């Protein structure tokens, strides 16, 4: 049986995540955070005790989500997988790319090799 505070915390987090999930741009981030949080609170008890068992449960949840993404991509054809990754990666980088000015100055770097 779950501890009452754990149950209350899960209900509050679920309500908060449902409120945030209406924004479609953040839906995958919300899913990853909710899965990692759930696995941290409800993950299996293991023999790894350092640094803290919750850290290992969090890592297990993130790696499980990554594994599910890889399995999903494995069963897609190449065109659909590329399109999926392009949409996911471009949407997360587009806001950062416009703020960065170092991309425009990348051609000004000169690499010198020293032959001695």
**Phi–psi pair at 50, nearest 5 degrees:** -125, 135
Q: Which of 9-18, 25-34, 103-112 has the lowest mean pLDDT?
A: 103-112
Stretch 84-105: mean pLDDT, rounded?
61
What global pTM score does this model have? 0.57
Q: What is the pLDDT of residue 10?
A: 73
Helices (H), 21-115: 27-42, 53-74, 78-99
Q: For the chain, which residues make up each domain, given as ranges?
A: 25-79
Higher pLDDT, 96 or 7: 7
């Amino acid at each position: 049986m779950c501890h009452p505070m754990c149950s209350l915390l899960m209900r509050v987090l679920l309500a908060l995540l449902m409120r945030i999930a209406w924004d479609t741009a953040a839906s995958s981030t919300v899913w990853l955070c909710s899965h990692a949080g759930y696995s941290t609170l409800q993950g299996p008890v293991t023999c790894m005790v350092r640094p803290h068992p919750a850290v290992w449960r969090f890592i297990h949840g993130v790696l499980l989500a990554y594994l599910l993404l890889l399995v999903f991509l494995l069963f897609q054809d190449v065109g659909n997988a590329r399109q999926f990754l392009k949409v996911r990666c471009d949407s997360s980088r587009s806001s950062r790319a416009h703020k960065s000015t170092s991309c425009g100055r990348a051609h000004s770097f000169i690499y010198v090799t020293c032959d001695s």
